[in-house]
Chain A
Amino acid sequence: ELKVEQNPLFLSMQEGKNYTIYCNYSTTSDRLYWYRQDPGKSLESLFVLLSNGAVKQEGRLMASLDTKARLSTLHITAAVHDLSATYFCAGRWPSNYQLIWGAGTKLIIKP
């Protein structure tokens, strides 16, 4: 069974700082997703990581995947207030294409 764990679950940081959110998964997943969710809103796709060593960057966010360690990271560089949101990672279980989600990391960036 695929399980996905994120940490930290809550993160408060100052603008301009760097930080990393970690996503561990328990068994083989054929792809790893990162999503953003603003309060009361739906899910916005950020990255899809398909293979070991994959790295994707968009603005101040960079995601990477290490399939051997079963670990994905979402790195935030020089955070700005607009990045405040809840970030989810999700792994896709190859046997039935089901997405298994982490609990989310609530990120608050203070001016």
Chain B
Amino acid sequence: ETGVTQSPTHLIKTRGQQVTLRCSSQSGHNTVSWYQQALGQGPQFIFQYYREEENGRGNFPPRFSGLQFPNYSSELNVNALELDDSALYLCASGWDISSYEQYFGPGTRLTVT
């Protein structure tokens, strides 16, 4: 049990729609990273937030955006959903950008039809 929660657990959306996924970190965790994990593959880094500012971004288009809030919660927003966006989305939080431990949430399984 990492203390990191995500909602919803599962979600089915139609191509072209928009989706918001949520993550609640442990109190005091100033960083949150989001990852996309397609079936049978390793996670791919989407972006990281540190104290409510984007601190790094992977190779994902601008239709993937995020927010981090002062209450240690965060959101991943995906616009104009494509079939290839179907994946497990994981958030991971940590104390600081240099801290070595990340705590992963249980993930949100997104299916785009």
- Asked if A50 CB lies within 8 Å of chain B CBs, one says yes
Task: Determine whether the beta carbon of B90 is less than 8 Å from that of A88.
Answer: no
Q: How many residues of B contact A (CB 8 A)?
A: 25
Q: A42-B90, A43-B43, A102-B42 are in contact. Are A97 and B107 (CB under 8 A)?
A: no
For chain A, which range describes its interface: under 10, 10 to 19, 20 to 34, or 35 or more residues?
Answer: 20 to 34
Distance in Å: Cβ of A76 to nearest Cβ of chain B: 19
In the complex, chain A residues 72-111 whose Cβ is within 8 Å of any chain B Cβ: 88, 90, 92, 96-104
- Asked if B65 CB lies within 8 Å of chain A CBs, one says no
Q: A42-B90, A97-B56, A98-B56 are in contact. Are A48 and B100 (CB under 8 A)?
A: yes
CA of A50 to CA of B101, assembled, Å: 11
What are 23 contact pairs spanning A and B, CB under 8 A? A31-B100, A40-B109, A41-B106, A42-B106, A42-B107, A43-B90, A43-B104, A44-B104, A45-B101, A48-B101, A88-B43, A90-B42, A96-B48, A96-B55, A98-B48, A98-B56, A98-B58, A101-B42, A102-B42, A103-B41, A104-B40, A104-B41, A104-B42
